[in-house]
Amino acid sequence: MKYVPPLGATDPNASYQDGNPEAGILGSIVPAAAIERPQREIMHVITQAGLEPSGEALTQLYQAITALIGTAGRNLYAVCSTAAATAAKAVSCAGFTLAAGSRITVRFTVTNTADSPTLNVSGTGAKAIRYRNAAIAAGTLAANRTYGFVYDGTYFQLVGDIDTNTTYKNMAGATASAAGKAGLAPAPAAGAQGKYLRGDGTWQTPPNTTYSIATATKDGLMSKTDKKSVDYCEALRLSMIGVPRYWRSTTLPENHVWANGDLVLFSDWPELKKVYDDGGFAGMLLAYNADSATIAANLGKWRPNAAKPTGLYVPKLDGQFFRACTGAGQAGETVTDKGRNISGTWVTGWNAALIPTIGTGGAVYTTSSQANEVAYSSNIKVSQPFHVGFDSALVWDEHDGDEFVPAHVHIPLTLYMGRTA
Instruction: Please give the full DSSP string across 186-246, using - where no structure is assigned.
Output: PPPPTT-TT-EE-TTS-EE--S-S--PBP-SSS--BPPHHHHHHHHHHHHHHHHTTT-EEE
Residue at 329 is within a domain? yes
pTM, 2 dp: 0.45
pLDDT of the residue at 270: 96
Residue at 163 is within a domain? no
Which three-class secondary structure state does DSSP give residue 419?
Answer: coil
2 and 119 in a common domain = no
Rounded Cα distance between 414 and 134, Å, is 78
Last residue of a domain, one of 68, 89, 119: 68
376 and 280 in a common domain = no
pLDDT of the residue at 164: 63
Q: Which of 268, 316, 270 is nearest to 296 (CA)?
A: 316
CA quadruple 263, 267, 268, 273: dihedral sign: positive
307 and 251 in a common domain = yes
Q: Which of 381, 348, 393, 351 is nearest to 366 (CA)?
A: 348
Residue at 401 is within a domain? no
Range of 307's domain?
219-339+416-421
Rounded (10°) angle between helices 60-68 and 32-48 = 50
**Helix (H) / strand (E) containing 34:** helix 32-48
- Tallying the residues shown for the chain, one arrives at 421
Q: What residue spans of 300-341 are helical by DSSP H?
A: none
Residue at 325 is within a domain? yes
Last residue of a domain, one of 68, 84, 117: 68
pLDDT of the residue at 380: 46
325 and 259 in a common domain = yes
C-alpha torsion angle, residues 252, 256, 261, 263 (rounded to 10) = 120
420 and 292 in a common domain = yes
**Helix (H) / strand (E) containing 396:** helix 393-396
Rounded Cα distance between 302 and 332, Å, is 9
Give every CB contact of residue 147 below 8 A, 6+ residues apart in sequence.
Answer: 105, 106, 107, 108, 141, 158, 159, 162
Give every CB contact of residue 67 below 8 A, 6+ residues apart in sequence.
Answer: 49, 50, 51, 97, 98, 99, 102
Residue at 101 is within a domain? yes
Question: Mind spelling out the 3-state secondary structure of 252-290?
Answer: CCCCEEECECCEEECCCCHHHHHHHHCCCCCCCECCCCC
279 and 240 in a common domain = yes
364 and 276 in a common domain = no
Whole-number Cα distances in Å, 313 to 118, 257, 284, 285, 371: 86, 11, 12, 10, 65
Q: Which of 32, 35, 30 is nearest to 14 (CA)?
A: 30
The tens place of each residue's pLDDT in the chain, 421 residues long, gives 888 898 988 999 999 999 998 888 888 899 998 899 999 998 998 888 888 888 888 888 888 887 776 554 567 899 999 999 999 999 999 888 888 888 999 999 999 999 999 999 999 999 999 999 999 999 889 999 999 999 999 999 999 888 766 567 889 999 999 999 988 899 999 998 889 999 999 999 887 767 788 888 888 888 888 899 999 999 999 999 999 999 999 999 999 999 999 999 999 999 999 999 999 999 999 999 999 999 999 999 999 999 999 999 999 999 888 888 776 667 878 877 776 777 777 777 666 666 666 677 777 777 665 555 444 444 444 445 556 777 777 666 666 666 777 778 899 999 999 999 8
Contact by Cβ (8 Å): 261, 315: yes
358 and 279 in a common domain = no
10 and 144 in a common domain = no
Amino acid, res. 122: S
420 and 284 in a common domain = yes
97 and 18 in a common domain = no
pLDDT of the residue at 387: 65
Q: Which of 351, 357, 350, 362 is nearest to 389 (CA)?
A: 362
The per-residue pLDDT for range 262-303, each reduced to its tens digit, is: 999 999 999 999 999 999 999 999 999 999 999 999 999 999
Rounded Cα distance between 123 and 90, Å, is 8
Contact by Cβ (8 Å): 402, 236: no
Residue at 151 is within a domain? yes
The per-residue pLDDT for range 78-96, each reduced to its tens digit, is: 999 999 999 999 999 988 8
Give every CB contact of residue 90 below 8 A, 6+ residues apart in sequence.
Answer: 80, 82, 119, 120, 121, 126
Q: How many domains does the chain have?
A: 4
128 and 10 in a common domain = no
